[in-house]
Structure 1
Amino acid sequence: MSNVILVTGGSGLVGKALQHVIETEPVGSRFGKQPNETWIFATSADGDLRDPAQTLKLFEKYKPTHVIHLAALVGGLFKNMKYKLTFLRDNILINDNVLHVSHTQKTTKLISCLSTCVFPDKVEYPLDEDKIHSGPPHESNFGYAHAKRMVDVQNHAYKEEFGCNFTSAIPTNIFGPYDNYDLEDAHVIPALVHKCYLAKKNGTPFIVSGTGKPLRQFIFSWDLAKLFIWMLREYDDVEPIILSVGEDEEVSIKEVTDAIVKAVGFEGEYSFDTSRADGQFRKPASNKKLLERIGGFQFTPFEQALDIIVKWFVENYDTARTGKKA
């Protein structure tokens, strides 16, 4: 029997990583394309998933047996805080349509992508899969986080009422090629890569906001793509699963910045603006459940992954998402 895997949000950071892995891993291997598989990477041009009719039309066109649902309205801190209702409503519409049509079209399996922002603001660390609903999320992510939490609620409801094989993944901080490198709206690694690149290009100082002391867990998008493929083929539990490197692989923003300076080849003045806020010091997540289920996985060394993304960014600067006008 042939399988058709539909990836929503196929042109984003994780969608592009899935496409890379499927195209470069050996056919028939654990993470490679299987002989009976067809992969469809859908984008917003294929249909507006906020619209039930367009969502149904997309599913009727490709008839997916499996879905990896990555599509979402996303943005940085400022946008999340300013447009709480928009982030809540648009993501609820997108998720509800994808889940409902997956059910009515008898999709064999659906994996949705959540975020660690779904976890409560005040929680005992490390984060684990049992703590998602144990308190309100941080106020800055109110709309987006609640919409993503509802996916977990719906997964359980669809399983209990209809027996659907729906589940979800919770990645930690993702970085990789095709990320958003816009200076105003990017997450920490792509923003620092872009700033360091411009400092080298323009011969200006490279100044990083904060002290550099906060700790984060970062997962390379190509590694995350492999874990999604593993989930697609081997994970059939409705309970969500955290996809992350281990707590012992937390790195400081100072260590991240040092590695970026080395990867970019920046030799100019480099300092931290300690008058700027650091944000949350650390929010470690446990990957114990993942390692118990997958039976071993080799994550890409952090500096090696950084070398890959810096090389990609420099080679694709004119087309990368940098905030420049096209």
Structure 2
Amino acid sequence: MEKSAKIYVAGHRGMVGSAIVRNLQSKGYTNIVYRTSKELDLRDYNAVQAFLQEEKPEYVFLAAAKVGGIVANNTYKGQFLFENLQIQNNVIHGSYLIGVKKLMFLGSSCIYPKFAPQPLKEEYLLTGTLEPTNEPYAIAKIAGIKMCEAYRDQYGCNFISVMPTNLYGPNDNYDLNNSHVLPAMIRKFHEAKKENKSQVELWGTGSPMREFLHADDLADACVYLMDTYNDSTLVNIGTGVDITIKELAETIKAEVGYEGEIFWNTEKPDGTPRKLMDVSKLHGLGWKHSIDLKEGIHKVYSEYKELNA
């Protein structure tokens, strides 16, 4: 990407989009365009097409999506499927219509089958059934990947897809009803410490294994791949290292300084047993993460404390 190129970041207020904007700015990209959801509803086909025709961006990062954890995915199944399809269809098709030079579609590691071999290789896509708790979201993301591949095949569009692992970082969602596991734990332990609670309840057994990537690392990988990668096949973005949910809880508990007990509610679902990305392709392309999990948790908790003193 040329430093003066016009770049559209869809979802710039979210954790991923805001990290991409920060990364681009730090590298000297000055011509970045974006709109808030109030200014532009990405579910509205005509509004999206009018925006793209007016701005004519050369590069597009499609980081906008309706997202959430197990509770949100289970509760809003229809919305997650319909709205994510609307968002990505409108932006991908509109980018083709105006002749965007390159588009990056950001998916999610939940696209892989529930019982796929670990670590998850890119070629495992569509080789088995999905995890039921987030199937609608995963199906929408798989459709986005396949749409980028189809537009590349039919129209010659340079549209690429990347699959981030579990993310955390600035501008994360800490709502207990629809946040992901790491920010939810930070909030629970922080509030329990503040209110002198003797116990924090967490869902499941604590045995599932998860991999976590700081949003700043993801953004750096995205900008790197936008500059260097032009193949049709998707690319996993992660650390290649995972820990149990129990280990994550203990790490966050120690960082927060909470001294009470953890109660594991085993009547609640665990979700996928393990979800570790195979990042050998990413490493082979010349990029590796730089923020380890303990350092990352320290950074995000420091930011959270400032906002929730």
TM range (shorter): over 0.9
Corresponding residue of 2:28: 33
- Rounded to whole Å, the distance in 2 between the matches of 1:232 and 1:109 is 8
Q: Match of 1:154, SS?
A: helix
Question: Which one of 227, 230, 235 corresponds to residue 236 of structure 1?
Answer: 230
Q: Does 1:188 align with 2:190?
A: no
Q: Does 1:275 align with 2:277?
A: no
Q: Given the two structures, how large is their TM-score scaled by the length of structure 2?
A: 0.92
Aligned residues: 305
Corresponding residue of 1:226: 220
- Rounded to whole Å, the distance in 2 between the matches of 1:230 and 1:238 is 16
**Unmatched runs of 5 consecutive residues or more in structure 1:** 26-31, 319-326
Corresponding residue of 1:324: none
Judge conservation of contact 2:104–2:162 (CA < 8 Å) in 1: yes
Q: Does 1:307 align with 2:287?
A: no
Residues 252-303 of structure 1 show CA distances to partners (whole Å, capped at 9, x for unaligned) of 223222221232232x213232534433331222001100012x42420211
- Rounded to whole Å, the distance in 2 between the matches of 1:59 and 1:279 is 38
- Superposition pairs for residues 63-82 of structure 1, below 5 Å? 63-82=56-75
* Shift of residue 116, structure 1, vs aligned partner: 1.2
* Shift of residue 14, structure 1, vs aligned partner: 0.5
Identity across matched positions, percent: 32
Q: Match of 2:20, SS?
A: helix
Judge conservation of contact 2:255–2:298 (CA < 8 Å) in 1: yes
Q: Does 1:177 align with 2:177?
A: no
* Shift of residue 84, structure 1, vs aligned partner: 2.4
Corresponding residue of 2:243: 251
Question: Which one of 208, 211, 216 corresponds to residue 217 of structure 1?
Answer: 211
Q: Given the two structures, how large is their TM-score scaled by the length of structure 1?
A: 0.88
Corresponding residue of 1:51: 44
* Shift of residue 43, structure 1, vs aligned partner: 2.4
Judge conservation of contact 2:238–2:289 (CA < 8 Å) in 1: no
Question: Which one of 54, 77, 81 corresponds to residue 84 of structure 1?
Answer: 77
* Shift of residue 133, structure 1, vs aligned partner: 1.6
- Rounded to whole Å, the distance in 1 between the matches of 2:253 and 2:10 is 34
Judge conservation of contact 1:5–1:64 (CA < 8 Å) in 2: yes
Residues 28-85 of structure 1 show CA distances to partners (whole Å, capped at 9, x for unaligned) of xxxx234xx4122332123111111110122133221000001112233233223323
Question: Which one of 99, 118, 141 corresponds to residue 148 of structure 1?
Answer: 141
Please tell me the residue identity of whatever aligns with 1:165.
N
* Shift of residue 15, structure 1, vs aligned partner: 1.2
